[in-house]
Amino acid sequence: MKNNKTKLTPEEHRLFGDLMPEELEDVLHSGFNRRHFVKLMGLATAGLLASYALGAEQLFARAVEMEDIPNLIPEAIENGVTVNFKVNSTPRNVLVDSRMTLLDTLRERIGLTGSKKGCDHGQCGACTVIVDGHRVLSCLTLAATCQGKSVITIEGLAKDNELNPMQAAFLKHDGFQCGFCTPGQICSAVALMKEAKEGQASFATKKLSTDPKSIILSEEEIAERMSGNICRCGAYPNIVAAIKEAQTGKNVPQNWLFTD
């Protein structure tokens, strides 16, 4: 992660110089951090990154610099439980209050704020993460139950400077507006790809398959399988298009077009 604070590509240099000049020095000096990332996300939603498409994609894939979060003193915690688990392949050892959910642990203790707290009651999917290969809701998971498990969050999907194909497809298809549900949508969609590949049926599947034959996802199938992720902005048509493209690997036309 640390080695990412190295040189910017020429496109990135130009982008920071043009759009975020006050940040350029900072980035050159101490690397790309969460504050820069948040600002960039803002510019992305405002459409200002369009002409820097190349650099923007790389920037989204850049791992965000993360400080180590100190453990709380055990005396400050009632019913403390020590949990050893992996988060995005990094082993973590945290002392948590027995009441702490995985979501709060990720956000408040480990500093990974990509997973969002929408409802905190299992109803929206914004907190979706992948635990031991399965998509689950981190708001209804106690951190204490994660001993020995491996958790993947939105921050762990890109490899080096390369976006996960699902992230790239969401960018291409504008699979978001405000972006609040997006980390949950993308984690959910990544797990969905594996489920479909393994031939796991949904309520919309006509025939419950018996052999693990990959299921090609129709729009109805995608909608049914993604129904646990609510999007208040209603970006559903674009989310479906993005998942279709990621699943088929074929170019799916965007639902929107630039006009002159």
Partner 1 sequence: MNNFEYKQAEDIATAINLISEQDNTKFLAGGTNLLDLWKYNLTNPSGLVDINRIHGLAEIKELSNGGVRLGANFKNADTAYHPIIENKYPLLSKAILAGASAQIRNMASNGGNLLQRTRCYYFYDPDVPCNKRNPGSGCPAKEGYNRIHAILGTSDHCIAVFPSDMCVALAALNALVNVEGAEGKRTIAFADFHRLPGDRPDLDNNLKPGELITSIDLPDKGFAQNYSYLKLRDRHSYAFALVSVATALELDGEMIKDARIALGGVAHKPWRSTEAENFLRGKSANESNFAAAADIILQDAKGYGHNDFKIALAKKAIIRNGLMALNPQSQLPGAKPSA
Ligand X SMILES: Cc1cc2nc3c(=O)[nH]c(=O)nc-3n(C[C@H](O)[C@H](O)[C@H](O)COP(=O)(O)OP(=O)(O)OC[C@H]3O[C@@H](n4cnc5c(N)ncnc54)[C@H](O)[C@@H]3O)c2cc1C
Interface ranges with ligand FES (CB under 6 A): 117-120, 122-127, 137, 139, 176-182, 231-233, 235
140: exposed, middle or buried (Cβ count in 10 Å: 0-12, 13-18, 19+): middle
For ligand X, the binding residues in 66-125 under the rule CB under 6 A are 122-123
| Helix/strand/coil percent split, the chain, to 5 | 45, 10, 45
Nearer to partner 1, 58 or 202 (CB): 202
Provide, rounded to whole angstroms, the least separation between the CB of residue 109 and partner 1: 16
Angle (CA) 21-24-26 rounded to 5° is 130
Residue 85 DSSP label = E
For ligand X, the binding residues in 115-174 under the rule CB under 6 A are 122-123
Nearer to ligand X, 90 or 123 (CB): 123
The encoded tokens of residue 194 equal: 């594996």
Binding partner at 178 among ligand X, partner 1, ligand FES, none, C-beta below 5 to 8 Å by kind: ligand FES
Binding partner at 101 among ligand FES, ligand X, partner 1, none, C-beta below 5 to 8 Å by kind: partner 1
Provide, rounded to whole angstroms, the least separation between the CB of residue 187 and ligand X: 17
Nearer to ligand FES, 88 or 182 (CB): 182
Tokens 């082993």 identify what position? 91
* Cα separation of the two ends of the chain: 42
Alpha-carbon distance of 152 to 132, in angstroms, equals 8
Interface positions with partner 1 (CB under 8 A): 78-79, 81, 98-99, 101, 120-122, 125, 128, 134-137, 140-142, 144-145, 188, 191-192, 195, 200-210, 223-225, 227-229
Cβ pair 189, 156 in contact under 8 A: no
The closest alpha carbon to 247, from 195, 193, 204, 198, belongs to 193
Nearer to ligand X, 123 or 214 (CB): 123
Nearer to ligand FES, 37 or 180 (CB): 180
Alpha-carbon distance of 114 to 181, in angstroms, equals 10
Nearer to ligand X, 129 or 242 (CB): 129
Provide, rounded to whole angstroms, the least separation between the CB of residue 177 and ligand FES: 4
Alpha-carbon distance of 161 to 5, in angstroms, equals 12
Q: Which residues of the shown chain bind ligand X in the complex (CB under 6 A)?
A: 122-123
